[in-house]
Amino acid sequence: MPCDVKVGPSDLDVDRRAAEADLRDLRDRLLTSAPLTAAIMIIVWFLQPRGLLPLNVTLWLGLALATVVQFYPGWRFIKGAVRAFRNSTANMDTLVALGTLTAYAYSLLYALHLVGGEPFLDSGPAVITLILLGRWLEAKVRLRASSGVRELAKLVPSRARVIADGGEVIMGIGEVKPGHRVMVKAGEGIPVDGIVDEGSGYVDESAMTGEPAPRLRKPGDVVLAGTRLLNGYLVIRATRVGEFSLIAQVARLAKEAQAARLPIQSMVDKVSAYFTWVIIGVAVATLAAWLSLKAPLYVAVLHMASVLVVACPCALGLATPMSIMVGVDRATQEGVLVRNGEALEKLSKIRVMAFDKTGTLTEGNPRVVKAFINDDALALAASAEYPSNHPIARAVVQYAESLKVKATKVEEFNQLEGMGVVAVVNGRNVGVGNAKLVEGMEAKLSPREEQLARDIEAEGYTPIFVVIDGEVKGVLAIGDPPRAEAAEVVNEVRRLGLHISLLTGDSEGSALGVAKALGIGEVHANLMPDDKARVVRELKAKYGAVAMVGDGINDAVALNEADVGVAMGTGSDIAKEAGDVILVSGRLRSILTLLRLSKLVVNNIKFNIAYAFAYNLILVPVAVGLIPGLTLRPELAGLAMALSSLTVTMNAYSIKLRRV
């Protein structure tokens, strides 16, 4: 049975319960205010005009019902207004509380024969009911909008079948530890991250990657908690469980991104804060203006209350956070983890897309296609590469294994970013890497080896040198073909108007080969990690905002230097990876989804803000009474305000439904 995965301080279960509690509170208040408001309207608009109730009874009965509505359902707004006042601020609740209390106070004074005109028995309750209805609908949409992130956490089974003492023991997921062997049968959810020890079967990973096609998993493959085994069986050696699993990290980071505050939101918040005080000033001025025109007091109060209610900046407050929340949730469903909500805004403004080569534009599964080396040197090279997890290191080790050449244990090991590895194997100093490593080990390439390197580069491959005790003892040609979708992605990015640049630590020849195949005109090769960051800075100075796409292994510095860093997902610990965005699916095509989604979210925010401002510009003058023949009663102002907030909310929710 499913359960929620605990993800630390921003525990999704706690957030969900808080959101549901708020929804229940709004519902309970609405269930009180709605029937009482309906009763008041029946009394005021039907019973009293037809002589079925005396005016005095109507006044006091209506006032009694209005008192309940004002100080139970409406207490939510009064409490919010008092809290804001204590902090020397004003907010949306301030305007609702002032508007409804004004109508209520005037009705009470009228019942006590202290003022004349007409009472507003139904106005305050109607406003409270309509605004509660709007907020209840907003809360429901908000809860549904973030369902994708929460549903991730529910995909992990609450129990696991652990193999122990020759049998199977059913354990709660909290009892499973790294190293335990977990049995998963066809149709069951996978409860842990781990490595397949035994068995095979197709696994549905769509919840994590957005990729609908199941993938075959067999011994040695990585499987992830929250995915589902469709057929066969698997025995998995657990590596990460509970809050440390990939799905828990994705859920936690996505939730944090949803709560991010964009620069545009900060601007809107400042405007809203000043706007509230301005509206209070306009309301007071409206009251004074109507009184100066010798209008009855009740007419002046009606216009003042309408101004306070209709101008609530609720829609402004919802414009940005709702769009960001829905956008991040939608990205998560597409296999794209947005770690920084601000990245969605920045992506819409980038002018350059810089790509790493190996593992980004290429398959990331390089192999040795040619070798000019003897078995002894190859054995030492494979031994030196064995401790490394770099794709090229794996290629050398796999090539040696295919020739039955065995690696041995190293005595010392050091990986040099952008160069290769150096190690001590059987007392011998061994280095495997590019020309910079050869130079660093004070070795020299012979004319034959230099020609071999040129020929390898001319064919689009990467030359790797093996240095043993200060002498070059072999040359390997490493091939890593472009991804099947790479050309399509590059062409589409170019069609979107972005400049494209290729940044790689590989040799110029192999980089130009890939660039030519994909139609990339600007190439920067032979780059160390710091050099990539320098090139990113140069691109920013020349063209504008830069997004860097890399595999997160040697690209961390460049990813952090870029305006937006996009890391290709590898199933590793995403919480420690560089990058504002992680393509959990590992699919290059997800970049197109990300770019389209960022524009969709930003355009959605802009529409919401423009709509909210236009709404106030149009209706505030009507509420003031500047439009001859038009009078906006407080209850109609409340309806208009509730509809504006709901419109903004539904427009933000549409991000979840649109095609990207």
Q: Tens digits of per-residue pLDDT, 305-342?
A: 888 888 776 666 677 778 888 888 888 878 888 887 78
Report field, pTM of the whole predicted structure over 0.75: no
- pLDDT on residue 6: 41
Looking at residue 428, its pLDDT comes to: 92
Count Cβ atoms below 10 Å from residue 654 Cβ, excluding itself: 13
What is the C-alpha to C-alpha distance for residues 157 and 173, in angstroms, rounded to an integer?
A: 7
Spatial strand order in the sheet of 336-338:
336-338, 581-583, 564-568, 546-550, 352-356, 499-503, 522-524
Residue 278, C-beta contacts closer than 8 angstroms, at least 6 positions apart: none
Contacts by 388-392, CB closer than 8 A, 24 or more apart: 388/413, 388/415, 388/421, 390/415, 390/421, 390/553, 391/358, 391/359, 391/364, 391/365, 391/366, 391/480, 392/358, 392/366, 392/420, 392/462, 392/464, 392/478
Residue 37: the pLDDT is 92
**Residue 429's pLDDT is what?**
94
Find, among 12, 250, 253, the residue nearest to 143 by Cα.
12
**Catalytic residue status for 356:** yes
Q: Are 133 and 73 in contact (CB under 8 A)?
A: no
- What whole-number distance in Å separates Cα of residue 398 and Cα of residue 332? 35
Which pLDDT score, from 0 to 100, does residue 212 have?
65
Task: Tokens 């007091």: give the residue.
Answer: 297
Say what the pLDDT of residue 94 is: 85
Q: Contact at 8 Å (CB) between 457 and 510?
A: yes
**In b/e form, how buried is each residue of 348-371, taking b as 16+ CB within 10 angstroms?**
bebbbbbbbbbbbbbbbebbbbeb
**Low pLDDT (below 70) residues in the chain:** 1-16, 145-154, 207-212, 254-266, 269, 313-317, 552-554, 570-578
Cβ contact 186:215 at 8 Å: no
**Residues 594, 602: Cα–Cα separation, whole Å:** 12
Catalytic residue from among 356, 506, 555, 580 = 356
The pLDDT, as a whole number, for residue 8 is 39
Domains present along the chain, CATH in parentheses: 8-148+257-326+602-656 (no CATH), 157-243 (2.70.150.10), 367-479 (3.40.1110.10)
Q: Which amino acid is it at 546?
A: V
Structure tokens belonging to residue 337: 């983890």
